[in-house]
A and B are shown apart, each in its own frame.
Chain A
Amino acid sequence: MIGVLGGFVFASPGRAQSVDDEAHRIGQTLQCPVCEGQSVAESHSQLATQMRTVIREKLTAGENERQITQYFVDRYGESVLRMPPRSGFTAIAWIVPYLAVALAVFFLVRTVGWRKRTPPPVAPSDPALDTYLEEVDRSYDQVRDEALR
Chain B
Amino acid sequence: MSGADLGAAALVAGLAMALSAMAAGIVGARNHNTRLLAAARNGAYVVAALLCLASLTLIVAFLTHDYSLRYVAERSSRSMPQYYVVAAFYSGQQGSLLYWATALGILSTLAIRTTYHRLHDLIGYAIAVLMSILAFFLLMLAFVSTPFERLPIPLSDGRGLNPLLYDSGMLFHPPMLLLGYASVAVPYAFAIAALIAGREDADWMRITRRFALFAWAFLGIGNLLGAWWAYHVLGWGGYWGWDPVENSAIMPWLALTAYIHSVMVQQRRGMLKVWNMGLIITTFCLAVQGTFIVRSGVISSVHSFAQSAIGPYFFAFLATVVIASVTALVYRLPVLRREQPFESVVSRESGFLLNNVLLVGIAFATYWGTIFPILSEAIRGVKATVGAPFYQQVNGPLLLGLLVLMGIGPLLPWRRASHEHLRRSFVTPLAIAGVGTLLLAILGLRAPAALLALAASIFAAATVGWEYYRGVRARMRSTGEAAPLAFVRLVSRARSRYGGYLVHLGVVLIAVGVICSSSFQLAREATLAPGGSMTIGRYTLANQGLEEGRMPGGRTVTARVLVTESNGASRVVTPAKVFYENFNDQPATHVAIETDDLEDLYLVLAGWADDGSISLAAFVNPMVSLIWLGGLVLLLGTGVTLWPERVAVPQPLAAPRRQLLGVEV
- Distance between Cα atoms of A121 and B118 in the complex (Å): 39
Main secondary structure of the interface of B (DSSP, over half): mixed
A138 to B497, CA, bound (A): 13
In Å, the complex CA distance between A149 and B116 comes to 9
Chain-A contact segment, one of B12-20, B46-54, B219-227, B339-347:
B339-347
| Closest A residue to B236 using CB positions | A42
B382 at the interface (CB under 8 A from A): yes
Whether the pair A14, B446 counts as a contact (CB closer than 8 A) is yes
Q: Closest residue to B377 on the A side, CB-wise?
A: A79
B664 interface contact, C-beta 8 A: no
Q: Are B368 and A97 in contact (CB under 8 A)?
A: yes
Binding site for B on A (CB under 8 A): 1-14, 20-21, 24, 28-29, 31, 36-39, 41-44, 49, 52, 77-84, 89-90, 92-94, 96-98, 100-101, 104-105, 108-109, 111-114, 116, 119, 121-129, 131-132, 134-135, 138-139, 141-143, 145-146, 148-149
From residue B254, how far is it (CB to closest CB) to chain A in Å? 13
The count of residues in chain B whose C-beta lies closer than 8 Å to any C-beta of chain A is 99
In the complex, B617 has a CB within 8 A of chain A: yes
Let me know if B231 is at the binding interface, CB within 8 A. no
Closest to B349 in A: A112
B237, B343, B444: which contacts A119 (Cβ < 8 A)?
B343
B368 touching A96, Cβ below 8 Å: yes
Query: Contacts of A29 on B, CB cut-off 8 Å?
Result: 389
Sample of 18 A–B contacts (CB below 8 Å): A8-B516, A8-B520, A20-B525, A21-B522, A44-B604, A44-B607, A52-B525, A84-B386, A93-B368, A97-B369, A104-B360, A108-B350, A114-B345, A116-B344, A121-B418, A131-B493, A138-B648, A142-B647
- Closest partner residue, chain B, to A84 (CB atom): B384
Cβ distance B226 to chain A, nearest Cβ, rounded Å: 15
Report B536-579 residues with CB < 8 Å from chain A CB. Answer: 537-538
Alpha-carbon distance between A42 and B143 when the two chains are bound, in angstroms: 41
Q: Which candidate, B33-41, B150-158, B471-479, is the interface stretch facing chain A?
A: B471-479
Contact A90 B523 (CB under 8 A): no
Not counting A90-B376, A132-B657, a sample of 20 additional A-B residue pairs whose C-beta atoms are within 8 angstroms of each other reads: A2-B443, A8-B444, A14-B447, A24-B523, A44-B617, A77-B382, A78-B382, A78-B385, A79-B383, A82-B389, A84-B384, A84-B386, A97-B369, A114-B345, A127-B474, A128-B477, A131-B494, A135-B493, A135-B494, A149-B118
Nearest Cβ on chain A to B583's Cβ, whole angstroms = 16
**Does B609 sit at the interface, judged by CB under 8 A?**
no
Could you tell me the distance in whole angstroms from the C-beta of A138 to the nearest C-beta in chain B? 7
Whether B445 is near chain A, meaning CB under 8 Å from some CB there, is yes
Q: A82-B389, A122-B415, A122-B418 are in contact. Are A7 and B471 (CB under 8 A)?
A: no
Contact B385 A7, beta carbon cutoff 8 Å: no
- Across-interface contacts of A135 in B (CB, < 8 A): 493-494
Q: Are B444 and A111 in contact (CB under 8 A)?
A: no
Task: Map CB proximity to A onto B601-617 as digits: 1 under 8 Å, 0 otherwise.
Answer: 00010110000000101
Expressed in whole angstroms, the Cα–Cα distance for A4 and B607 within the complex equals: 30
Indicate which residue in B358, B599, B648, B660 contacts A129 across the interface (CB closer than 8 Å).
B660
**Residues of B participating in the A interface, judged by any CB pair closer than 8 Å:** 117-118, 120, 206-207, 235-238, 241, 243-244, 341-345, 349-350, 353-354, 357-358, 360-361, 364-365, 368-369, 372, 376, 379-380, 382-390, 393-394, 398, 413, 415-421, 424, 440, 443-447, 470-471, 474-475, 477-478, 490, 493-494, 497, 516, 519-525, 537-538, 589, 597-599, 604, 606-607, 615, 617, 620, 622-623, 645, 647-648, 650, 657, 660-661
Asked whether, in the complex, the Cβ of B357 is within 8 Å of the Cβ of A97, the reply is no
What 4 pairs across the A-B complex have the smallest Cβ distances? A82-B387, A42-B236, A9-B444, A128-B474
Residue of A with least CB distance to B523: A24
Contacts of A141 in B (CB 8 A): 206
Contact (A83, B387) CB under 8 Å given A14-B446, A42-B238, A89-B376:
yes
Instruction: Name which residue of chain B comes closest to A107, CB basis.
Output: B357
Residues of B contacting A31 in the complex (Cβ-Cβ under 8 angstroms): 385, 387
CA distance A125 to B347 in the complex (A): 13
* A83 adjacent to B390 (CB under 8 Å): yes
What residues of B have a CB within 8 angstroms of the CB of A100 in the complex? 361, 364-365, 368
**Nearest residue in B to A94 (C-beta to C-beta)?**
B394
Name the CB-closest residue of A to B449. Answer: A13
Selected contact of B118 from candidates A49, A84, A116, A145, CB within 8 Å: A145
| A93 with B238, Cβ < 8 A, contacts A4-B597, A105-B357, A122-B418 known | no
Q: How far is the CB of B304 from chain A (nearest CB, A)?
A: 13
Taking CB atoms, residues of chain A closer than 8 Å to B516 are: 8
With A7-B537, A44-B235, A80-B385 as given contacts, are A20 and B444 in contact (CB-CB < 8 Å)? Answer: no
Residues of A within 8 A of B478 (CB): 128
- A104 x B357 contact (CB < 8 A): yes
Q: A41 and B523: CB pair below 8 A?
A: yes
User: In the complex, what distance in Å separates the CA atom of A134 from the CA atom of B599?
Assistant: 42
Residue among B235, B342, B361 making CB contact with A112, cutoff 8 Å = B342
CB distance from A113 to the nearest CB of B (A): 6
B470 to chain A: closest residue by CB: A127
Bound Cα distance from A77 to B385, whole angstroms: 11
Judge whether B387 and A37 touch: CB under 8 Å: yes
